[in-house]
Structure 1
């Protein structure tokens, strides 16, 4: 069972998101919060697998909550779920260590796919956001810098990174490369350390920049 904490300052939005999540028997909403401060406190109390955060909330916004969750509860996956798709919000969320970025206007199935992806150790960006991020990253000198950083990885680590770039979970990577899941976890940890990135989303972006993904 995937345990989810939902944080949004609008009760009607929380009800709608919860209704979507409740359609999946493998997902359980364990708590709801109306602001970032409450979300962090409830996450500490309930230890969910995934926290869904709106960006604009009173007292503490979703980006500040994401930073605090990443620092104090690193094992919890954080997904930003918002109306706003401006580049500055996407960049800030990824810099703050979010494992996913979803738009409220997306197909409801994307919400379920995204929650499952991050709960299984993967990363997920709304396709609309992913297309724009990849297009931006492929412009300019980002690709060359990424290739230089990726060159420090072993061949097997580059194979793993390529699949992480596709949003694959550890289980999927293990199956594709015929490795034990524990071995994949060790490779992912080494990749994050070598590339000096906070999480799988940032590693996935580097994989795209370096041209490791199709």
Structure 2
């Protein structure tokens, strides 16, 4: 059976050792290149021009050259490699930059070791793996950020929305929050704009669907 050659660039020694060791326990994989920095990886490629990997697990938060900046150089060195991001970064813009730079998969470091191996198997079969939390960020982006925008309500706006969900009137809300009815109405208009809805029913529907963080 031809083994899939695995490379790993990870600066945290504990993570680097545990991930590489666990992957090595599986017969279908051969861990051939393990490094603590991108610079070390490139130096290894220079010393051994024959070095090649099928899948490279890459951390983004590396000392020196970051994973994001290393990506194009990696593909210059190994055009056919499948790069799998393994990182703590789950921000939408970072994820998209990595994917647009050629990474095929994105795994959160919160994932278990078996999940990482399962992700590698998916990549071997030609697929792309995304940790659930990261997939949600991508969905948010594809939806034009509608859900992510909903999460930027202020605490007071969330409080008022929850009261609206409970069926309370503007007058009751103003009494309980010790503000004027006009202040309540102003908050409601702003939260409608943030949620991209036109009325209380639509706002409550989004809330009930769990689309507001």
TM-score range, shorter chain: 0.5 to 0.7
* Equivalent of residue 133 in structure 1, options 118, 126, 138: 138
Secondary structure in 1 matching 2:111: coil
Check whether the contact 2:92–2:141 (CA below 8 A) recurs between aligned residues.
no
- Are 1:21 and 2:23 counterparts? yes
CA–CA separation in structure 1 for the residues paired with 2:125 and 2:141: 27
List gaps (5 residues or longer) in structure 2.
Answer: 147-213
Q: How many Å apart are 1:132 and its aligned residue?
A: 2.3
The answer to whether the aligner puts 1:78 opposite 2:91 as a matched pair is no
Query: 6-15 or 44-53: which moved more?
Result: 44-53
Larger relative contact order, structure 1 or 2 (CA cutoff 8 Å, min sep 6)? 1
Change beyond 3 A, Cα 1:46–1:85 = same
SS in 1 for 2:70: helix
1:40 aligns with 2:45: no
After TM superposition, the structure 1 = structure 2 runs for residues 46-195 of structure 1, keeping only pairs within 5 Å, are 46-139=51-144
- 1:40 offset after TM fit, Å? 3.4
CA distance in 1, matches of 2:61, 2:41: 13
Please tell me the root mean square deviation across aligned C-alpha atoms, in Å.
2.0
**TM-score, with structure 2 as normaliser:** 0.60
Contact 1:5/1:39 (8 A) holds in 2: no
Instruction: Specify which of 2, 5, 17 is matched with residue 4 of structure 2.
Output: 2
- For the residue of structure 1 that corresponds to 2:33, the secondary structure is strand
Measured after TM superposition, the shift of residue 13 of structure 1 is 1.3
Asked which structure has the greater CA Rg, the reply is: 2
Mapped to 1, the partners of 2:44 and 2:119 lie a distance apart of 21
* Aligned residue-pair number: 141
Give the deviation of 1:122 after TM superposition: 2.1
Q: Quote the offset at 1:45 in angstroms.
A: 4.1
SS state of the match for residue 25, structure 1?
coil
Shift of 1:140: 6.7
Distance 2:139 2:72 in 1: 24
How far the C-alpha of 1:96 sits from its partner, in A, is 1.0
How many angstroms does 1:121 deviate by? 2.5
Distance 1:33 1:140, change over 3 A: closer
